[in-house]
Structure 1
Amino acid sequence: MRNISILGLAAVSALAFAPSAFAQDSTTADTASGKHWAVTGGVTLLQPKDDAAAGIRKIDGGPAPTISASYYINDNFAVELWGAADKFNHRVRGDAGKIGTVEQQPVALSAQYHFGQADNTFRPFVGVGYYESNFSNEKIDGASASGQHVSLDTAKGAIGTVGVDMNINSTWFARADARYMHSRPELNVGGAGTGEDLKVDPWTVGIGLGARF
């Protein structure tokens, strides 16, 4: 949690000082244009949808550190590999309260389009791609009591991204983004599929600090 706090503080500080820092750097010959690689680290909150299945009223969201690496084909088009550096922890709730816990760790590959010029202070972007999210440490109170193992298949599907980068200088930038994942993993009990898919479909909101080179 301490690492998450440090990453979040760094991103917020970058947002606060970005305009003045970028203005100072604009007098130099250095430019963000033509740089092909970028790495971004930050913290992301992932929130699954409510009523994922019968008996599951809510899956609580939670934060985790995330990291991404992007290759810019040119100043506008990029390919991004994004993922959680640690697992998201979720508490599963029913009508009467907590009924279990589960963890997941997503990774995604997306194509992105970044609007405007490379040296613009603000650069919105959109992306679409494919992701997988591995679920682990599934614990459902009733099933655990009866000795049945409960698990979820790996979620696979489309991911959409919207975000904005704020240039601090030609190398450093702050980032805020949101992502949606179409997540319908099958529920397994006692090692056998039940035919029931959980409609997890999470949204994420993240902030981070990145460098391009």
Structure 2
Amino acid sequence: MRIISALALTTATLIAAPAFAQDSTDTASGKRFAVVGGVAQLQPKGDAGAGVGDIDGSPAPTLSASWYVNDNVAVELWGAADKFSHRVNSPAGAKLGTIEQQPLALSAQYHFGQADNTFRPFVGVGYYESNFSNEDVAAVDGLHVGVDTAKGAIGTVGVDMNINPTWFVRADARYLHARPELTVAGQRTGDELKLDPWVVGLGIGARF
């Protein structure tokens, strides 16, 4: 993917470029804010519901901003900077239509080890909402089929690789408990889609 290739090139540049060299007294410890930009692949589970088979995954750019209570505990606001687009398939594999979604999450995180360690794994848990839009799915008796907003728990595991006290590379995986309700002509049906996607991402961050 072009976006991942660009991220890899940027990461290599950050590692090699002397312009990013830090003063020997500089440290990541005590820096309270961090921002990360990257790309992620959102993959819903298969067999999402009655009459629905697989829902294809897709990539989208992501952004996050974190406030560190201390070197180990942080609060992160994370979301997709653009929409994830999905093809909806029947159990037989035929295309039923397409939908888009854009998640936003607030999580508490714990980062292990010292702030200046080269590798810093972290875990997190929080709450998210994902708005679905542009539903273009086979109509029921000519009526529009929609997907209600998904909301619930989100869990995160990841690792930061420190390039220097300011710059780092982040790889993470997020699990969203997603059971949005289907609607027909704007009315709730009581039928849920069991999406429960994994979101796997790669990004470049800066702390200050």
Q: How does the TM-score come out when normalised to structure 2? A: 0.92
Cα deviation 1:9-49 (Å, max 9, x = unaligned)? 34323655777789x95871000000000000000000000
Partner of 1:189: 184
Cα deviation 1:68-97 (Å, max 9, x = unaligned)? 000000000000000000000000001141
State the distance in 1 between where 2:61 and 2:79 align. 9
AA partner of residue 174 (structure 2): R
| Structure-2 change in CA distance of 1:123 and 1:21 (3 Å) | farther
Partner of 2:103: 106
| Poorly superposed stretches of 4+, deviation over 4 Å | 14-22, 24-27
Q: CA RMSD in A?
A: 2.0
State the distance in 1 between where 2:93 and 2:119 align. 46
Cα distance, 1:5 vs. partner?
3.0
Partner of 1:58: 54
Partner of 2:171: 176
Partner of 1:154: 149
Q: How does the TM-score come out when normalised to structure 1? A: 0.90
Instruction: Name the one with the larger helix percent.
Output: 1
AA partner of residue 100 (structure 1): G
Partner of 1:68: 64
Q: Is the 8 A contact 1:25 1:170 kept in 2?
A: no
Cα distance, 1:141 vs. partner?
2.1
Partner of 1:132: 129
Partner of 1:46: 42
Partner of 1:207: 202
| Structure-2 change in CA distance of 1:191 and 1:19 (3 Å) | closer
State the distance in 2 between where 1:130 and 1:150 align. 26
State the distance in 2 between where 1:174 and 1:81 align. 17
AA partner of residue 188 (structure 1): T
Cα distance, 1:191 vs. partner?
1.8
Identity of aligned pairs, percent?
67
Runs of 5+ unmatched residues, structure 1 = none
State the distance in 1 between where 2:156 and 2:9 align. 23
Name which of 133, 138, 141 aligns with 1:141: 138
Cα distance, 1:59 vs. partner?
0.3
SS at structure 1 position matched to 2:114: coil
